[in-house]
A and B are shown apart, each in its own frame.
Chain A
């Protein structure tokens, strides 16, 4: 029997069958690979947290350095310490930030806070590790989804990220973050690093991301600074008196 491949009935049946087969195939592939992909994603997050602390993920495991993972609310109070919940919040950090849930990782020697912002082509994110004074940067990890390779994407290189170590995010009581400065950072500045030539838009995004993301954690940092650093406490009190 010769089938007329150009009849409407044939075309409609052909399309329906084709779409169903493709849909089944893709769903199976997605289901089958999901576990592996999720494991990769979780592993990558933990690796980045360890890296942000300046440790080598090849030798140091996540569990060795992180003592507690927690979710904070807008006032800096801990609302959950369930690790699963914290990592789930990391999966959609933008939504978590908007919902007032701020994941933080407490290490033996400081804290690690996640960052989320916009680059030139798409989202950028990362982790910043602060020393126990909640001010000095121990390290940073930056990542992106679609910045230009060789230009904006250079924010992921070790060379760029090494610049942040030792910088500080507070100027007195004000959270100033770290600025990526076009044309090179001022020598001796504690709040500036060199921007990447040709990647200015991405670098502006990183500066804005550090500032806005850390702002969410300011109440937590302030509380921690008040208890660990008496000098800061005295200064804060004298400011109140002056007013």
Chain B
């Protein structure tokens, strides 16, 4: 794999992360990060959709009439999302139920259309595909970090398994109580803010003068 192609894959993981650098897809990172498991499946679903919508749009890029390109992008993305939804329903029914409406809402995820518009329409299919995978992974990584913090502090569990023992809770005679505010979307936004802060202090070149 040429190093330039590889860069399409790795850049969105940190230096050009869709959530914390491009500030795309914030809405869904607030909605599905209360627990870890939906966050992981959501991240993977978005990755599949960004990768294949990038691939398809890149293949079509020379034939798409530029006046209706946004409509074409929407149709491609919507079709892919419906396919993902149908496959999840057929093969991982319980997870698809847990994600409920959020799978359908991938259509409105800014990352998908943002990458198609900004990258796939100007680049070759393979590069675009890698860019889609990279951005999906970058998105998934941030979702997982947020969900880790929120589920651990908000519910005392991870992936549904109890991490903080029942006996430590006030109700059982202990001293600990879950941080209920973690379950609310504003805390996700604050965690995103903290991640951006930490990320920029390590990556000086991203800091605005």
Interface residues of chain A, those whose CB is within 8 Å of chain B, are 5-6, 10-11, 14-15, 18-19, 22, 25-26, 29-30, 33, 36-37, 40-41, 44, 122, 143, 145-146, 148-151, 197-198
Pairwise interchain contact A145-B82, C-beta atoms closer than 8 A: no
Pairwise interchain contact B34-A29, C-beta atoms closer than 8 A: no
Quick one: which of A19, A26, A148 contacts B83, CB cutoff 8 A?
A26
Which residue of the partner chain B has the closest CB to A14? B65
- What's the least CB distance linking A28 to chain B, in Å? 10
Q: List 23 A-B contacts (CB under 8 A).
A: A5-B64, A6-B66, A11-B67, A14-B63, A14-B72, A15-B68, A18-B75, A19-B75, A22-B76, A25-B83, A26-B79, A26-B82, A26-B83, A29-B86, A30-B86, A37-B89, A40-B93, A143-B97, A145-B101, A146-B101, A151-B183, A198-B180, A198-B184
Quick one: which of A6, A22, A44, A143 contacts B67, CB cutoff 8 A?
A6
- What's the least CB distance linking A64 to chain B, in Å? 22
Interface string of B35-67 (1 = CB under 8 A from A): 100100000000000000000000000011111
Pairwise interchain contact A149-B34, C-beta atoms closer than 8 A: yes
Pairwise interchain contact B35-A11, C-beta atoms closer than 8 A: no
Which 6 pairs between the two chains have the least Cβ-Cβ distance?
A150-B34, A40-B93, A33-B90, A36-B90, A149-B34, A150-B183
Q: Which chain B residues lie closer than 8 Å to A146 at the CB level? A: 100-101
Q: Which chain A residues lie closer than 8 Å to B76 at the CB level? A: 22
Q: Which chain B residues lie closer than 8 Å to A5 at the CB level? A: 63-66
Quick one: which of B91, B98, B100 contacts A36, CB cutoff 8 A?
B91
Q: Which chain A residues lie closer than 8 Å to B82 at the CB level? A: 26, 29
Decide: A149 near B89, CB < 8 A? Known: A6-B67, A26-B79.
no
Decide: A198 near B87, CB < 8 A? Known: A6-B66, A18-B75, A146-B101.
no
Which residue of the partner chain B has the closest CB to A33? B90
Is B154 interfacial (CB-CB < 8 Å)? yes
Pairwise interchain contact A149-B38, C-beta atoms closer than 8 A: yes
Which residue of the partner chain B has the closest CB to A10? B65
Q: Which chain B residues lie closer than 8 Å to A151 at the CB level? A: 183
CA–CA, A37 and B89, complex, Å:
6
Pairwise interchain contact A40-B90, C-beta atoms closer than 8 A: yes
Q: Which chain A residues lie closer than 8 Å to B154 at the CB level? A: 150
CA–CA, A122 and B184, complex, Å:
19
Interface string of B78-106 (1 = CB under 8 A from A): 01001100110111010001101100000
Decide: A11 near B93, CB < 8 A? Known: A145-B100, A150-B35.
no
CA–CA, A25 and B79, complex, Å:
8
Pairwise interchain contact B83-A37, C-beta atoms closer than 8 A: no
Q: Which chain B residues lie closer than 8 Å to A36 at the CB level? A: 90-91
CA–CA, A233 and B192, complex, Å:
64
Which residue of the partner chain B has the closest CB to A151? B183
Q: Which chain B residues lie closer than 8 Å to A44 at the CB level? A: 93
Which residue of the partner chain A has the closest CB to B79? A22
CA–CA, A144 and B24, complex, Å:
29
- What's the least CB distance linking B56 to chain A, in Å? 11
Q: Which chain A residues lie closer than 8 Å to B183 at the CB level? A: 150-151, 198
Quick one: which of A15, A33, A122, A145 contacts B89, CB cutoff 8 A?
A33
Q: Which of B128-163 touch A at CB < 8 Å?
A: 150-151, 154-155
Pairwise interchain contact B66-A149, C-beta atoms closer than 8 A: no
Q: Which chain A residues lie closer than 8 Å to B100 at the CB level? A: 145-146
Pairwise interchain contact B38-A22, C-beta atoms closer than 8 A: no
Q: Which chain B residues lie closer than 8 Å to A198 at the CB level? A: 180, 183-184
Is B32 interfacial (CB-CB < 8 Å)? yes
